[in-house]
Amino acid sequence: MLENLEKFTNIKRDVSEINLDPLQRGGILTPAAREALVEWGDGYSVCDFCAGMLDRIKTPPVEDFVHGALPEFLGIDEVRVTHGAREGKFAAMHALCEKGDWAVMDGSAHYTTILAAERAGLKIEFVPSSGEPDYAISPEGYQDAIERAYEHKGNVTMAVLTYPDGNYGNLADAKAVAGICHDYGVPLMLNGAYSVGRMPVNSRDLDVDIIVGSGHKSMASSGPIGVMGAKEEYAKTIFKLSSSKKNKEVELLGCTVRGAPLLTMMASFPAVVERIKHWDKEVEKARWFASELERLGMELQGDRPHNHDLMFFKAENLYEISKTAKKGRYFLYRDLKDRGICGIKPGLTRQFKLSTYGLSREDLEKAARAFEEIIEAHKKAES
């Protein structure tokens, strides 16, 4: 029994030079984070220095990071490190809502927001998007959704806005959404998994009550790790101390990321703060790349002009090719891979998402050229 275990070791990560997967673009470690990973890799190395509260460790400066830098960075009163955005969403819902309550969320919400609500026993009322091609989420939609929940005699105790959503990269008017939610006394949680660490996001400016971010998705950290911030009035409930174990926060089960991922997030932080200042360049690159793909016959969905590196394309021309291509619907994945590009899910042709985040203009030119070559090659093959 338990034989041939060597297959679990020495596994190489087989990815192409240019990875367009939105999941991966913001999580690439900085050199400093890579060093931290090796230095702090063992078990939960951070705990050597803990006197009972992870977020109060002074050396390494976890306390400075969690109670100083992160609240300023997110523009919010209290912050804790979590296992990821989804775990933050669940913790907030579990702490603030009662089973049977209602959560209102955008129709473009990430599946984990839905799962977090389901795990917390909440019913969901969605704010539908405007549909193709904009998929816009309107602030007024939140009013309607809250009203619909009221019609079910529901107690609405949480609203969530995905900012941007993970399909179309749309940035809704978060401040207007917050205003409407607050008119109804409902706290608004911002899911910033694709924004915090990529672009400027300030909870105070947007007037959101809770914010979650993802270290592995957008803060150049080794996963699993995320951040959760809350305004004081909600923080005291979310981060409530145990009734029997002093200094231990119930909703975090005492502490969360007790290992290397935390040190990678800290090590990357200066670079993350710096890269956010150049967000305009990222948007410019994204728009340029979108214009290239549109020139080739694909169609950008979502916000126009687009304001984020995450973009969704419809590509009827690629779909047509897939009908006759040798490799069928896998042709795009294979042909891109042959050209050193990955990140579009195998089998997708008619619609797919990608991200340009952190890629150089040269890499993006190479990627655009690859699409062009592939389309040309299949045109020739057909004629």
Q: Are 168 and 302 in contact (CB under 8 A)?
A: yes
Cα 132 to Cα 58: distance, rounded to the nearest angstrom: 51
- Which stretch, 36-44, 202-210, 314-322, 374-382, contacts its own copies (CB under 8 A)? 36-44
198, 216, 285, 339: which one binds its own copies (CB under 8 A): 216
Q: Is the peptide bond before 133 cis (omega within 30 degrees of 0)?
A: yes
Give the residues across from 79 on adjacent strands.
Answer: 229
Cα 342 to Cα 345: distance, rounded to the nearest angstrom: 8
Q: Per CB under 8 A, which of residues 60..99 are in contact with its own copies?
A: 60-61, 64-65, 69, 72-73, 83-84, 86-87, 90, 94, 99
Q: Per CB under 8 A, which of residues 291..350 are in contact with its own copies?
A: 342-343
- Give the interface size with its own copies as a residue count (CB under 8 A): 90
- Residue whose token pair is 């952190």: 358
129, 222, 301, 349: which one binds its own copies (CB under 8 A): 222
Cα 306 to Cα 133: distance, rounded to the nearest angstrom: 12
> Which CB sits closer to its own copies, 33 or 186?
33
37, 103, 156, 171: which one binds its own copies (CB under 8 A): 37
29 binds its own copies (CB under 8 A): yes
> Which CB sits closer to its own copies, 69 or 136?
69
> Which CB sits closer to its own copies, 60 or 302?
60
> Which CB sits closer to its own copies, 138 or 218?
218
**Closest alpha carbon to 160 in 188, 193, 131:** 188
> Which CB sits closer to its own copies, 99 or 323?
99
- Residue whose token pair is 């109670």: 67
- Which stretch, 110-118, 134-142, 231-239, 290-298, contacts its own copies (CB under 8 A)? 110-118
13 binds its own copies (CB under 8 A): yes
17, 43, 204, 369: which one binds its own copies (CB under 8 A): 43
Residue 372 in tokens: 């062009």
> Which CB sits closer to its own copies, 67 or 182?
67
Radius of gyration of the chain (CA): 22
Cα 177 to Cα 167: distance, rounded to the nearest angstrom: 19
277 binds its own copies (CB under 8 A): no
Cα 311 to Cα 367: distance, rounded to the nearest angstrom: 14
- Which stretch, 157-165, 176-184, 261-269, 332-340, contacts its own copies (CB under 8 A)? 261-269
Q: Is the peptide bond before 60 cis (omega within 30 degrees of 0)?
A: yes
Residue 271, Cβ density class (10 Å: 0-12 exposed, 13-18 middle, ≥19 buried): middle
C-alpha 259: how far from chain center? 21
Residue 178 in tokens: 């917050």
112 binds its own copies (CB under 8 A): yes
194 binds its own copies (CB under 8 A): no
> To the nearest whole angstrom, how small is the minimum distance from the Cβ of residue 137 to its own copies?
19
CB-based contacts of 298: which residues, under 8 Å, 6+ apart?
313, 314, 315, 317, 318, 371
Q: Is the peptide bond before 224 cis (omega within 30 degrees of 0)?
A: yes
116 binds its own copies (CB under 8 A): yes
- Which stretch, 131-139, 162-170, 239-247, 305-313, contacts its own copies (CB under 8 A)? 239-247
> To the nearest whole angstrom, how small is the minimum distance from the Cβ of residue 224 to its own copies?
5
22 binds its own copies (CB under 8 A): no
126 binds its own copies (CB under 8 A): no
Residue 247 in tokens: 């200094």
356 binds its own copies (CB under 8 A): no
Cα 203 to Cα 193: distance, rounded to the nearest angstrom: 14
- Which stretch, 1-9, 301-309, 328-336, 375-383, contacts its own copies (CB under 8 A)? 1-9
Torsion region of 62: left, alpha or beta (phi above 0 gives left; psi -120 to 50 gives alpha): alpha
254, 279, 314, 350: which one binds its own copies (CB under 8 A): 254
> To the nearest whole angstrom, how small is the minimum distance from the Cβ of residue 179 to its own copies?
26
